[in-house]
Amino acid sequence: MPGFTYSITRFPPWQMIIGPVAILIISCGILAATLLTTGMPVTPGIDFAGGTAVTLFSSDSEQQLRGYFSDYPLLSIEEGINHGWYLKFGPLSDAQFRDFTTHIEARYPDSKVDHIGETFGSTLQQQAVYALIFSFAGMTAVVFIAFRTLVPAAAVILSAFADIAMTAAVMNIVGIPLSLGTTAALLMLIGYSVDSDILLTTRVLKRKGKIEERFSGAFHTGFIMTTTTLAAVAAMWVVSLVGQIEIITHISSVLFIGLFVDIFNTWLTNAGILKWYVDRKGSK
């Protein structure tokens, strides 16, 4: 990429790492605070907390909708195209839900109601946690088998963990809930993070030549990969926003945040640790 260079010699390793580590600590603090208040590190959506989602078409205003559903735990109202509305309600007991369906059918008979009970939401919550743990554990095993050296393997794992933690913290800040869709996006980020980190580590440790050239070559390849993916995700985000497909908007938003975070962690955190490792190994 002409006119743009990546110099690993510009800063010592500790200066490269200190910023990402500070942000990681803050992110973990945000996740811990959310865990104490909601029971999960990321604010759970209807999929995990339980609740009811209603899609309806009506010329009623938002104030009229809020008034009609004032007796129920209405969480949010989102306006769609052609007088479409998407309403989210908190958990309802079985008796409340029966009364709710009768109430909504009386005025909006063509509405679509999706209900997830608290018990089922709790089961999905556990399965999502297991999926993240098993994915991370599997990734850790593969990385250690591939490199068989503690420091490079630990750098890849730390960068992947930082990607997920920072992305989840931003989700809490901007209000993106944890759902089945956003959980899938986080799982995809684990794979992408490991891919970019392994590219960097392999180029630096297994290729010959000056250390600056190895880092620079890996950066050019990795940056092109990431920017191409960012462009595709941005297109998906725009299409979902225009079409008002909330779940796709959330998935693309999580991927967009995670890819930016991955650039930060791969080329500062992982690169800084690798530079320290190579310098230390060379001095010995």
DSSP string, 142-161: HHHHHH--HHHHHHHHHHHH
pLDDT of residue 169: 96
Quick check: is 257 in a domain? Answer: yes
Query: Which of 116, 141, 172 is the C-terminal boundary of a domain?
Result: 116
pLDDT of residue 1: 44
- Say which residues have a Cβ less than 8 Å from residue 19's Cβ, sequence separation at least 6: 268
* CATH assignment at residue 61: 3.30.70.260
Identity of residue 261 = V
Q: Are residues 176 and 60 in the same domain?
A: no
77 φ, ψ to 5°? -130, 125
* CATH assignment at residue 129: 1.20.1640.10
Residue 6: name the closest of 153, 222, 274 by CA: 222
Query: Which of 82, 116, 150 is the C-terminal boundary of a domain?
Result: 116
Q: Are residues 21 and 73 in the same domain?
A: no
Identity of residue 127 = Q
Query: Which of 101, 116, 131 is the C-terminal boundary of a domain?
Result: 116
What the block records as the tokens of 94 is: 């079985």
pLDDT of residue 231: 92
Q: Are residues 58 and 128 in the same domain?
A: no
Quick check: is 3 in a domain? Answer: no
Mean pLDDT in order along the chain per 10 residues (284 residues): 62 88 96 90 82 86 89 84 82 85 88 75 76 83 83 90 94 91 89 87 82 85 88 91 83 94 91 88 58
Q: Where are the beta strands (DSSP E) in the chain?
A: 51-57, 74-79, 84-89, 112-116
Domain membership of residue 56 as a residue range: 51-116
Q: Are residues 100 and 156 in the same domain?
A: no
CA-derived radius of gyration, the chain = 23
Q: Are residues 144 and 97 in the same domain?
A: no
Q: Are residues 126 and 255 in the same domain?
A: yes
What the block records as the tokens of 121 is: 């939401």
pTM: 0.82
DSSP string, 197-237: HHHHHHHHHHS-S-HHHHHHHHHHHHHHHHHHHHHHHHHHH
Q: Are residues 272 and 239 in the same domain?
A: yes
pLDDT of residue 52: 86
